[in-house]
A = this chain, B = another copy of it.
Amino acid sequence: MVGAANSPPEKPVGDRAARLSWLPRLQSTGERLLAIVGLAAFLAGTLPDLPAIYNSGLTVLCLAVAVLFALEYIVRLRQAPARLSWALSAPALIDLLAAAPVPLALALGASPGAARLFGVFWALKLIRLDPAFSLFARVLRNERRPLLSVTTVFVVVILFAATAAFVVERRAQPEAFDSVPAALWWAVTTITTTGYGDRVPATLAGRVLAGAVMVSGIGLFALWAGILASGFSQELRRREFLESWDLVVRLPLFRDLGAPALSEIARSLKVQNATADAIIVRQGQPGDSMYFIAEGEVEVRRAAQRFRLAAGQFFGEMALITGEPRNATVVAAAPTRLLRLDVSDFRGLAARQPKLLEIIETENARRRVSAPT
């Protein structure tokens, strides 16, 4: 199923190795933990009737979290190549919001309870550290025009609904619908289908109106969902292609394929990361995909046999060709970046790109000859 241990491992792809290294991961995990500890302290600190001793302890804890984030901010600022432009970037502003407000508020004489409230900014750290966050940012930016238009329609419907409710309900419920702004509160809770129930139309006209508002709320929401669904689908496709293209063009295996073939292969491959010791393929399970190693190294375990495959090699293709279960277990020997080819795409690709099948079969034959018995 997999290449032989003595086939010369291809030279590592190199400059990307750092991405998978443990240091940045550890740091981001540390930051996350610190933010969560800080948020817990901030939340606990708002509970009423807190004994003074806990109160002081929480203030110290919040201050400590802020100071650690401040130190981190200073280190990052000093390391930045262009300090001013870094300081004005969104991530840096979030770092600053996590570091400055709590100590500043205390220094300016705010009560500890009030100062601790600024700890809520630590929540932004969780967003800043989220790797997939830029994905939304981009979808929202791409689709911002239709989304804004729906929002405009939202606002206009709410204004009309509130005015109509004010006209038809103010006589029946003078205290609840005594002005259009007051009716706006009813309109917003109704169009979002929240329905607190603190203001409910009492007249027939008011109820017919309310029904129309609820249904148009659902419709407007469906419009948002529709826009975002189509935006996501486009962006996800774009992103996956880019990520796998980057890796495909570096694989020596595909060196002789022309650009159109590479482009189609890149469209079919999915990038998959594996941490060290993660089991990628388990012996005896049905095989529904094969893997190309883009970075890192894996260990193949079959009975007592153990051997390694390095970047540039592939495994799991036998199960796709024969349809039999996996004949070995494969474990990541280091943090590894794989390109997964699902069986459905494998068949389509093999049909349209006969050269790919040939490459896989040639390599397969070569391995068999040199395989340990």
- B-binding residues in A (CB < 8 A): 39, 42-43, 46-48, 81-82, 85, 117, 120, 123-124, 126-127, 130-133, 135-136, 139, 145-146, 148-150, 152-156, 159-160, 163, 166-167, 178-181, 184-185, 188-190, 192-198, 200, 207, 210-211, 214-215, 217-219, 221-233, 236, 238, 241-242, 245, 258-260, 262-263, 266, 284, 288, 342-345, 347-348, 350-352
Contacts and interface: CB of A to CB of B under 8 A. Distances in A.
5 contacts: A46-B180, A82-B284, A136-B153, A188-B211, A233-B233
B351 A159 contact: no
Contact of A226 (B178, B200, B225): B225
Q: How many copies does the complex hold?
A: 4
Given A194-B193, A231-B226, A132 B149 contact: yes
Contacts of A347: 245, 259, 263, 266
B150 A43 contact: no
A121 to B, nearest CB: 9
Residues of A contacting B: mostly: helix
Contacts of A344: 238, 241-242, 245
Contact of A260 (B123, B150, B352): B352
Contacts of A232: 146, 223, 226-227, 229-230
Contacts of A228: 222-223, 225-226
B120 A149 contact: no
Given A149-B130, A197-B195, A179 B47 contact: yes
Contact of A233 (B43, B148, B230): B230
Contacts of A231: 226
Contacts of A130: 148-149, 152
Contacts of A124: 156
A61 to B, nearest CB: 16
A43 B180 contact: yes
A353 to B, nearest CB: 10
A279 to B, nearest CB: 11
Instruction: Specify which of A139, A180, A188, A288 lies most central, judged by the most chain B CB atoms within 10 Å of its CB.
Output: A180
A188 B200 contact: no
A117 B218 contact: no
A229 B238 contact: no
Q: Closest 10 CB pairs between A and B?
A: A230-B233, A259-B351, A226-B228, A194-B195, A226-B229, A192-B214, A222-B225, A132-B149, A196-B197, A197-B197
